[in-house]
Structure 1
Amino acid sequence: MINSALEIRHLKTLLALAETGSVSQAARRVFLTQSALSHQLKQLEEHYGLALFERKTQPLRFTLAGERLLALARELVGKVAAAERDLARLRQGEAGELRVAVECHTCFDWLMPAMDAFRQHWPAVELDIVSGFHADPVGLLLTRRADLAIVSEAEAQPGIVHQPLFAYEMVGIAARDHPLAERRNWSAADFAGETLISYPVPDDMLDLMRKVLAPAGVNPARRTSELTIAIIQLVASRRGVAALPFWAVKPYLERGYVVARPIGAAGLKSELYAALRENDAQSAYMQDFLATVRETSFATLPGLSVL
């Protein structure tokens, strides 16, 4: 039997590096310190006598040797996960119900691919989205009208647990010929004389208002729309400015419809969590759904970071 230095934990580390593009972010994905992850990679490189990725590149770039091990990781880690799901079905059963409630208008961009992948893992689990936008999705959990809620804050409530999904950057967007397009980043004061175009939700559900504008005492004029594309069109027509997730506006930036700028010197970070009833949190299919959301989101959405 061939003795190998490779372990499953090494392959998971390589996948995390590929998905996040950063040693520090990958370390958080696999629950290691950055120094521990770097030491793990150094051991592999010393064993094989080859560099696995190029240092000081952003995002991180794999060498040919690293790409070969990454290909192995993508094949093998998936097979291990499938075997573990099979064992979970034998232990807990294959059927169940998972009704998802959301409070964000842009959730569907990443939620639908995750749901498609999950259906292949658990075909006997009845998976559904609770229709409509919900200002209090956790309330649906407590009244058993939903089984999982996607929320932007992990507010402590009896009987409810929160699992982190991912963080992302909110960017300010303006028309290409708008005066704010000339600025490198925007401050709260830049919104004071503008019309803010947003989704029709309370201010405490808008991170721009809650984290940036309200603390600065800025309350701009408002206009609302239910649809992301409608917000983009209004901004492009100089009807106002907006703040949207970078991954949601990236296709429109590439087409030149609008421009995007960071909000604040360090950027405006938003977070997403899954809220679940405490008694359901350890369900095998529930945990696999959360893992699937993270995996598909990091693989397909730009600019995500680990919570």
Structure 2
Amino acid sequence: MDLFHAYISSVHGGGMLERSHLMVIREVERQGSLTAAADVLNLTQSALSHTVKKLEQQLGTPVWTREGRAMRLTQAGQYLLGLANRMLPQFEHAEARMKQYAQGERGTLRIGMECHPCYQWLLKVVSPYLARWPDVDVDVKQRFQFGGIGALFGYEIDVLVTPDPLKKPGLRFQPVFDYEQVLVVADAHALANEPYVAPEHLASEVLITYPVETDRLDIYTQFLTPANVVPKRHKVIETTDIMLQMVASGRGVAALPRWLAEEYAGWMPITPLRLGKKGIAKQIFLGTRESDDTIDYLTAFVAMARETERAEARVRA
């Protein structure tokens, strides 16, 4: 917090918009009041109130409206909050990286997951990666402030694992492996012996999925919605193990990658079925920032991920 106080002192130097202003705006919004924000920022309430007043004077427009002790952002304040949420993580990431360099460490590889069933695959990559890069830590994130793409741009993460890449300037997406999306049913299910399932088959089923918006679930976007079919009921479960236990006990059906379904089918009474006559083909991509192409431990992770999948493909063949 010494850095923050150094910035606070610069507020009185006559500049317009400082990093300290963005820190104040973000913290007041997070805490809901000046009193709570002052505690977090290690400032007195009067010092923070003075900083807020000075900021609004310098900008020439109110940033907050007061409602009792609560503070509500104006339109100008909302704009600055968005700027704070984009810029401050980049400052914090840069400072953490410089500290790691100063301590002789390479850093931390932060992996964002937009593919819930990919954790088992990720473990196969992370284990040898950690052995090969002992001075690099790995952190996995699943919840993002602005979604996976926003997390890459905002420096919340360094690598994004996703089945749905978006072409954006400054980002690079590399395919890692192909897979087929299938429907998983209990061995005793009426559909278990069918060569494939049609959308209308799910009209009477309880569909179990991960907690992802339906407009990002392939079972909806590529199978049910084009056929104007909705399942009897849609349930959300976070963990693959519990999801497939529910399927095995006849309490619903689930859409998962074939490789994952077949792995569980080795010890659970479940059956993977093709979705439609042609099936649904998908790919998993790793997204990175083009500006990070020179970071050796990051590019090494992408290379090892592709290497691991090629080895797995040879085993499956």
Q: Taking structure 2 as the reference length, what is the TM-score of the superposition?
A: 0.61
Q: CA RMSD, aligned part only?
A: 2.5
| Unaligned runs of at least 5 residues, structure 2 | 1-103
Structure 1 window deviating more from structure 2 (195-204 vs 154-163): it is: 154-163
1:225 to 231, 237, 254: 237
Query: Hey, what's the Cα distance between the residues in 1 that align with 2:122 and 2:146?
Result: 18
Partner in structure 2 of residue 242 of structure 1: 254
2:265 to 228, 253, 256: 253
Amino acid at match of 2:229: V
1:145-294 equivalences in 2 (<5 Å): 145-220=156-231, 221-294=233-306
Number of equivalences: 213
1:118 to 129, 132, 152: 129
Aligned in 2, Cα 1:133/1:230: closer, same or farther, shift over 3 Å? farther
State the identity as a percent: 34
Deviation digits for residues 122-150 of structure 1 (CA, Å, limit 9, x no counterpart)? 22223222365788122111111111111
1:130 and 2:130 correspond: no
Aligned in 2, Cα 1:304/1:159: closer, same or farther, shift over 3 Å? farther
Partner in structure 2 of residue 100 of structure 1: 111
Give secondary structure in 1 for the equivalent of 2:181: strand
Query: Hey, what's the Cα distance between the residues in 1 that align with 2:313 and 2:266?
Result: 15
Give secondary structure in 2 for the equivalent of 1:179: coil
Aligned in 2, Cα 1:131/1:193: closer, same or farther, shift over 3 Å? closer
Structure 1 position 244, deviation (Å): 1.0
Structure 1 window deviating more from structure 2 (279-288 vs 221-230): it is: 279-288
Aligned in 2, Cα 1:302/1:236: closer, same or farther, shift over 3 Å? farther
Partner in structure 1 of residue 81 of structure 2: none
Runs of 4+ in 1 over 3 A off after TM superposition: 131-135, 300-305
**Structure number with bigger Rg:** 2
Deviation digits for residues 215-270 of structure 1 (CA, Å, limit 9, x no counterpart)? 11112120111111111111122211111112222233223511111112122222
| Unaligned runs of at least 5 residues, structure 1 | 1-92
Bigger RCO (CA 8 Å, 6+ sep): 1
Query: Hey, what's the Cα distance between the residues in 2 that align with 1:195 and 1:302?
Result: 36
Asked if 2 retains the 8 angstrom alpha-carbon contact of 1:246 and 1:303, the reply is no
